[in-house]
Structure 1
Amino acid sequence: MNLPKFSSLYGRIFAIFWLTMLLVLITVLAASQLDPRQLHDVPANSLKDLQNQAQTITSNYQNSSSIRASIKQIERSNVDSGRLNYYFNDTEGHWLNPPSGMRARALNNFITQSDKSNFPQQRLYGRLMIAGPLPVVIAQHELNMYFAIRWHQPPPFLLQLLDRPLQLLLAVMLASTPLLLWLAWALSKPAMRLEKAAQKVARGIIELDPELEKGPSEFKQAGASFNQMVMAINNKISEQQRLLSNISHELRSPLTRLRMANALAIRKQGDSAELARIDMEAERLELMINELLELSRQQIDSHQIQQNLSVAELWAETIEDGKFEAEQQKKSLICSAIPKAVMTGNPNLLISAVENVIRNAIRYCEHSVWVDFKQVTVKQQSSLIITIEDDGPGVDKEELEAIFRPFYRVSTARERHSGGAGLGLAITHSVITQHNGQITALRSQHGGLAVQITLPLDL
């Protein structure tokens, strides 16, 4: 079995699990080392004080005549001064001033663990701290002296945790939280990148994303597979668009010959309704082929030219041209102020898309066209909304979504005698989608059609 690598997701989860367990183990070991209920060496400062007291007792009572009287005198001086309690036993382990109750049990237990006068130690029993032994000489007898004092210090924090399992569990959870947050971040970041890439593909933006091939090895493999899928889709789309373009090009040659033959027939036989109808249908077919070529060219080359563009400069000339064209047809175009914002895209395609919608509105309106530019910001994302409305016959409500499909012809008078190929709005829809935008058709408040275009702006 191969050991997990840290670069893999499996390896990271495994490492964080064992690191958390190691933190718990270190906490337990550290708590045991700090636990005063275990036998420990007496701290240096305290040991020095105890040794000084032992030397004082030896110097004061080593030549006394009675051990019992000397110990009682030591006990009385201890009561008067409120200092430590002293307990003495001989070399055979007999207590000369035997304690009682809990102290007796604590001292008897302590001397079984610490009976070497060269190595004084201490241990906590409840609230009683016992230390010793230290050698003393009283009445020419060598004795061991032990110290007992009430312990008023709070227990160490780690000791409190060990005594309270719920608090210990909470402390472990808090200690492991940074590691778990890092693991969650390591999991979620590549997953969110993959999700965003999938959403872009769902919106029709089919492009490679090198960032997908970063992170844990499992996500690298998933990202590489996703990019391979995107490449395959792009290749299929490009093949389809090239096929469409080639077919359109091939259709132009016989179409040209057909129009030439029709012109010769008119010259020889004179004008007739049949020949005029042939010429009109050939002209419509040529227009359709030209629009097909334009659509395929835009879909293939849309990502080749990307620039930072000023919104005001981008469509200012388009609005002026629209006003001029409307005046020539005894109509009017009313436009709001264009916001001073910046966006990224292909200028030729964006100009063509908006111009196409404006010219359609001018063609089908009765008197006026309204163009409104508005900048909105939602959740730190700034967008430009362009609304183009007219007061023409409009489009039936059930056909509003279908008008952006290629070759779709609406059933109302808006398209009945226009001679259009049904590709204009399909081309506009393609351009807007390629720029991460949206385009929708609505009923205008002026009675005609309203086309709303939403495009992302640069921050």
Structure 2
Amino acid sequence: MLLSRISSHINSLTVQIFALFWLTFSILLALAFFVPTLDARAYTELKGDDLRYYQNEVVIAIRHNHISRLLNSPMALGLERRNNESYIDPPPNMPRPVLVNSHRAIIGAKDDDVQPLQKFIYQSDNPAHPMTKRFFDVQISGPFLITTGQNKQDNYMLYFVRKVNPQQEFISFIFDHPFIMLLLFMLISSPLLLWLAWSISRPMRRFLYAANAVALGNFQINKELEEDGTREFRLVGRSFNQMIKAIDELISNKQRLLSAISHELRTPLTRLQLAAALMRRRKGECTELTRIDMETERLDKMINDLLLLSRQQLNSHLLRDTFPINEIWEDIFSDAQFEAEQRHLDCRIQVQIDEPTQHFINGNLMSLSSAIENVIRNALKYTNSKIQVSVYLENKSLMVQVDDDGPGVPPEEYDQIFEPFYRVDAARTRETGGTGLGLAIVANAIKQHQGEVWADKSPLGGLQIMIKLPLWID
């Protein structure tokens, strides 16, 4: 039980972020203090083995009379320097002793070593804390006090000069430019920060895909949301799946209820139609029976539209396929032109697409064809004399524009006409036999294909319906 609770806290996003932040901060802080010590050109105090090594070299220099030779050299005596007697030439890789008197005169140094020695002496002149520093291919260490008499003026500072391999230039360049070093620190810490970002973004991407699927009407539960990621993400994933399940049940119950009501309405409607037929057979035709027939037909059409809308919403992702865009209107346009000719209307159709067979849509062909046909028939129903249908491509989308010169719709009702059972004019609805579901069915079909549909004022004077459907990009 205790181990389970500890494991749960370790898998917590809060703990992981906190721990990773302090780990990264500690690493950067350690590097900030440690890396400069790797610069061989930095002044470093001699300690431990290094100090004991040079103390031993001091003893060797005295024992082998190196100090005496330097003190008796022409330079120490104020004479002109002679090459063989002016400095000690030790074995390879061994330090060469150099003396500095109280006037800071350098004794026993080669010409190339004088300038770095002067710089080093200026920074390190305390024999209680000897230091070391590298100047390109020369390493200088010291000072060590050498006493030759009771007078302080007889005291000398002993330094050691040794040839070393020069520090590579790119390393020196890094140490000389703190900004470059900062970039290196950032580069070193980037893997940890990338891992943190990845550990957060990976489950977030799953949530994004799941949310997009829900937005498209796919209410399938994703178990990965509950099983992967930190504890917080798993809890959110469990709640997200519960929400999907609740929404799916709510929508399914709504559609089943609507479908059941529509089916139940058919029973009394059928009885009413049967009773009207029996009455017509007994008493003959009359105005009341004609009105009953008209209203029952309207009710029957409304029930059919309700069933269609219910099935459309319930089965929004079934029977999808990829097909050329021209298949949507192949039969619709010819039927519309034929109907317009029979009613003596001007029907103009413009397909402004080169090679429409090369462009595709993924969806339900019957549903899309029915939606566009519904809009065109609606225009034919309300137009005065002409309609115009334009088909073209825009921003990787198929655009279908239907205009008529009918009475139109008030601008404030452009959005409302796509709602179920909405009627602009009840009197006109009775004359045309509308149910108020046609454009709602159109809007539902288009939205299920991630498209858009809207109304506007037509240049012909009536209503303009615009349909936008995204093309399938393979």
TM-score normalised by the shorter chain: which range applies? 0.7 to 0.9
Residue 244 (structure 1) shift: 1.0
The equivalent residue for 2:26 is: 21
* In 2, Cα distance between equivalents of 1:78 and 1:7: 76
The equivalent residue for 1:346 is: 364
2:98 counterpart of 1:98? no
Which digits, 9 at most, give the CA deviation of each residue in 1:382-423, with x for residues without a partner? 222211111222112222211111111112875351111111
2:43 counterpart of 1:30? no
* In 1, Cα distance between equivalents of 2:16 and 2:471: 42
> Does structure 2 conserve the Cα–Cα contact (< 8 Å) formed by 1:372 and 1:387?
yes
* In 1, Cα distance between equivalents of 2:189 and 2:425: 66
> Does structure 1 conserve the Cα–Cα contact (< 8 Å) formed by 2:372 and 2:442?
yes
Over the aligned positions, Cα root-mean-square deviation in angstroms equals 4.4
Matching residue's letter, 2:339: E
* In 2, Cα distance between equivalents of 1:393 and 1:180: 64
Residue 366 (structure 1) shift: 2.2
1:185/1:247 CA distance change after superposition, 3 Å: same
Structure 1 residue aligned with 2:132, among 122, 128, 150? 122
What fraction of aligned residue pairs are identical, expressed as a percent? 37
The equivalent residue for 2:333 is: 319
Instruction: For 1:282-293, list aligned pairs within 5 A.
Output: 282-293=296-307
Matching residue's letter, 2:421: F
Residue 191 (structure 1) shift: 4.3
The equivalent residue for 2:406 is: 392
Instruction: For 1:183-198, list aligned pairs within 5 A.
Output: 183-184=196-197, 186-187=199-200, 190-191=203-204, 194=207, 198=211
* In 2, Cα distance between equivalents of 1:189 and 1:438: 31
Instruction: For 1:78-93, list aligned pairs within 5 A.
Output: none
Which digits, 9 at most, give the CA deviation of each residue in 1:294-339, with x for residues without a partner? 1111111121112112111232222222222222222233222244
- SS of residue matched to 2:472: coil
2:81 counterpart of 1:69? no
Matching residue's letter, 2:374: N
* In 2, Cα distance between equivalents of 1:375 and 1:32: 67
* In 2, Cα distance between equivalents of 1:332 and 1:416: 25
2:146 counterpart of 1:146? no
Structure 2 residue aligned with 1:294, among 287, 294, 308? 308
* In 2, Cα distance between equivalents of 1:13 and 1:27: 21
2:260 counterpart of 1:254? no
Residue 431 (structure 1) shift: 0.8
- SS of residue matched to 2:456: strand
Matching residue's letter, 2:449: H
Residue 199 (structure 1) shift: 6.8
Instruction: For 1:405-424, list aligned pairs within 5 A.
Output: 405-411=419-425, 415-424=429-438
Residue 20 (structure 1) shift: 4.0
- SS of residue matched to 1:406: coil
Matching residue's letter, 2:369: I
- SS of residue matched to 2:322: strand
Q: In terms of mean alpha carbon deviation, does 300-309 or 220-229 score higher?
A: 220-229
1:247/1:97 CA distance change after superposition, 3 Å: closer
Relative contact order: is structure 1 or structure 2 higher (C-alpha 8 Å, sep ≥ 6)? 1
Scaled by the length of structure 2, what TM-score is found?
0.72
The equivalent residue for 1:374 is: 392
Which digits, 9 at most, give the CA deviation of each residue in 1:343-377, with x for residues without a partner? 21111111111111111112222222222222222
The equivalent residue for 2:16 is: 11
Residue 452 (structure 1) shift: 0.7
Scaled by the length of structure 1, what TM-score is found?
0.74
1:68/1:275 CA distance change after superposition, 3 Å: closer
* In 1, Cα distance between equivalents of 2:361 and 2:425: 37
Matching residue's letter, 2:133: R
- SS of residue matched to 2:6: coil
* In 2, Cα distance between equivalents of 1:444 and 1:310: 28
Unaligned runs of 5+ in 2: 48-52, 90-97, 105-117, 145-155
Which digits, 9 at most, give the CA deviation of each residue in 1:119-169, with x for residues without a partner? xx83369xx9623799xxxxxxxx9963359x99999456557xx7x9876
Residue 16 (structure 1) shift: 4.5
> Does structure 2 conserve the Cα–Cα contact (< 8 Å) formed by 1:34 and 1:156?
yes
Q: In terms of mean alpha carbon deviation, does 213-222 or 402-411 score higher?
A: 213-222
* In 1, Cα distance between equivalents of 2:448 and 2:182: 53
* In 1, Cα distance between equivalents of 2:254 and 2:77: 108
The equivalent residue for 2:107 is: none
> Does structure 2 conserve the Cα–Cα contact (< 8 Å) formed by 1:98 and 1:104?
no
Matching residue's letter, 1:205: G
1:236/1:68 CA distance change after superposition, 3 Å: closer
Unaligned runs of 5+ in 1: 42-46, 87-94, 115-120, 135-142
The equivalent residue for 2:453 is: 439
* In 2, Cα distance between equivalents of 1:384 and 1:212: 36
* In 1, Cα distance between equivalents of 2:161 and 2:279: 130
Q: In terms of mean alpha carbon deviation, does 264-273 or 5-14 score higher?
A: 5-14
> Does structure 2 conserve the Cα–Cα contact (< 8 Å) formed by 1:85 and 1:147?
no
* In 2, Cα distance between equivalents of 1:415 and 1:84: 119
Matching residue's letter, 1:130: I
Residue 455 (structure 1) shift: 1.4
Matching residue's letter, 1:29: F
Structure 2 residue aligned with 1:271, among 285, 296, 300? 285
* In 2, Cα distance between equivalents of 1:99 and 1:284: 121
Residue 274 (structure 1) shift: 1.8
Matching residue's letter, 1:360: N
* In 2, Cα distance between equivalents of 1:113 and 1:240: 89
